[in-house]
Amino acid sequence: MRNAKITAVGAYVPPGVLTNQDLEKMVDTSDEWILERTGIRERHIAAADMATSDMAVEAARCALAQRGIDASSLNAIILCTVTPDMMFPSTACLVQHRLGAKNVWGFDLIAACSGFVYGLTTAAHLVMAGTHDKVLVIGADTMSRIIDYQDRATCVLFGDGAGAMLVEGSGEDEPGFLGFQNEIDGSGGDSLKMPAGGSRLPPSHDTVDQRLHYVKQDGQAVFRFAVKRMGDAILTLLNRAGVKPEDVKVMVPHQANKRIIDSCAKRVGLKDEQVVINIDRLGNTTAATIPLATRDALDQGRIRKGDYVLFTAVGAGFTVGANLWRWGY
């Protein structure tokens, strides 16, 4: 059976920056509190006329250019997001049309902050089945559209951005996909959600008046779940793959809170130099954090062909994900 490898990583963040100092003027918060509790200094925010598909197209073009291929050679597009341009058509369709990707099928994947890990897992299996040669996984979120900038507990956390990885077939002996440990646990559904706008609470004057079209979060419940379950998933995966924590070159975790990342790394037995963190500059961009942080690690020369690279995330749902790859280029 053939394997799957990652062959390009594209990134896009909008130019607008929202700093902690800016937020101090909007809600009762401080740069000191945000930095100490989350590790975030600033985040990027999309201009009013920019939607998720616009950022996704930029990240996709960046990945395709690196590989030197045209969009028409893609076989599938998996678009991971919780902030689609609209309920339907899917953002994958909007992006396919803009890219001119004439030979693909594709879909949106909703798994919140674990979206990109689930997208990568899915792409790897499509490629390993031998039915697809090139699958583009895009993580893109315009979180600023669903964040309540009157709620200090959530508005300091999130930013906007998009990232993309190209997954292609590789020989059985080449470095590539080594496995996954993905789990969902719906008992945590109430801890992180956008209550209105779906079939349960369709948009109405009432839902708008009650500000139910924004992210609502029980931060401490999410924090506790993330540290425990992300760590457990990683240990299960490494154990099954026969890879020791010290052999992992880098872990690229979802960037939700630096304290969550540090606690998880400690639980797993990873040193600081093995962990990629860019939350200080970008905040939590939901499905985009992992490709954006991977792009940074590549630019810093921290990932080379053959290295063990671990991706991991926890998100609304709850969703938990971990993927282990040997880097393919």
**Residue nearer to ligand UT7 on the CB measure, 34 or 120:** 34
Least Å distance, CB 143 to ligand UT7, is: 10
- Tell me if 33 contacts ligand UT7 by CB under 6 A: yes
- List the structure tokens of 283: 């905040």
Alpha-carbon Rg for the chain in angstroms: 19
- 3 catalytic, yes or no? no
What secondary structure letter does DSSP report for 187? G
- Tell me if 152 contacts ligand UT7 by CB under 6 A: yes
By CB under 6 A, the residues from 71 to 130 that bind ligand UT7 are: 113
SS (H, E, C) 218-267: CHHHHHHHHHHHHHHHHHHHHHHHCCCHHHEEEEEECCCCHHHHHHHHHH
b (16+ CB within 10 A) / e for 7-29 = bbbbbbbbeeebebeebbeeeeb
Helices (H), 82-151: 91-99, 115-128
The dihedral through the CA atoms of 14, 20, 21, 22 has a sign that is positive
- Name the segment binding ligand UT7 (CB under 6 A); options: 12-20, 219-227, 242-250, 291-299: 219-227
The dihedral through the CA atoms of 315, 181, 92, 176 has a sign that is positive
Q: Angle 123-129-135 (CA atoms, 0-180°, nearest 5)?
A: 30
**Residue nearer to ligand UT7 on the CB measure, 223 or 308:** 223
- Tell me if 257 contacts ligand UT7 by CB under 6 A: yes
- Name the segment binding ligand UT7 (CB under 6 A); options: 135-143, 179-187, 215-223, 292-300: 215-223
Cα 49 from chain centre:
23
189 neighbors 161 (Cβ within 8 angstroms): no
**Residue nearer to ligand UT7 on the CB measure, 28 or 246:** 28
- 254 catalytic, yes or no? yes
Nearest to 120 by CA among 165, 81, 75: 165
- 278 catalytic, yes or no? no
**Residue nearer to ligand UT7 on the CB measure, 54 or 141:** 141
Which among 80, 254, 257, 264 is annotated as catalytic?
254
Q: Per-residue string for binding with ligand UT7, 160-199, x by CB under 6 A?
A: --------------------------------x-------
Sole binder of ligand UT7 in the list 223, 308, 311, 327 (CB under 6 A): 223
Pairing of strands 192-193, 216-217: antiparallel
* Beta-carbon count within 10 A of 324 CB: 22
Sole binder of ligand UT7 in the list 140, 147, 166, 260 (CB under 6 A): 260
- Four-point Cα dihedral 241, 279, 36, 250, nearest 10: 30
Sole binder of ligand UT7 in the list 16, 197, 219, 269 (CB under 6 A): 219
- Name the segment binding ligand UT7 (CB under 6 A); options: 77-85, 129-137, 151-159, 295-303: 151-159
- Tell me if 63 contacts ligand UT7 by CB under 6 A: no
d(C-alpha 94, C-alpha 96), whole Å = 6
Least Å distance, CB 29 to ligand UT7, is: 3
Which among 3, 182, 284, 323 is annotated as catalytic?
284
- Tell me if 226 contacts ligand UT7 by CB under 6 A: yes
User: What is the set of active-site residues?
Assistant: 113, 254, 284
Residues forming contacts to ligand UT7 in the complex (CB under 6 A) are 29, 33-34, 37-38, 113, 152-153, 156, 192, 219-220, 222-223, 226, 256-257, 260, 284, 315
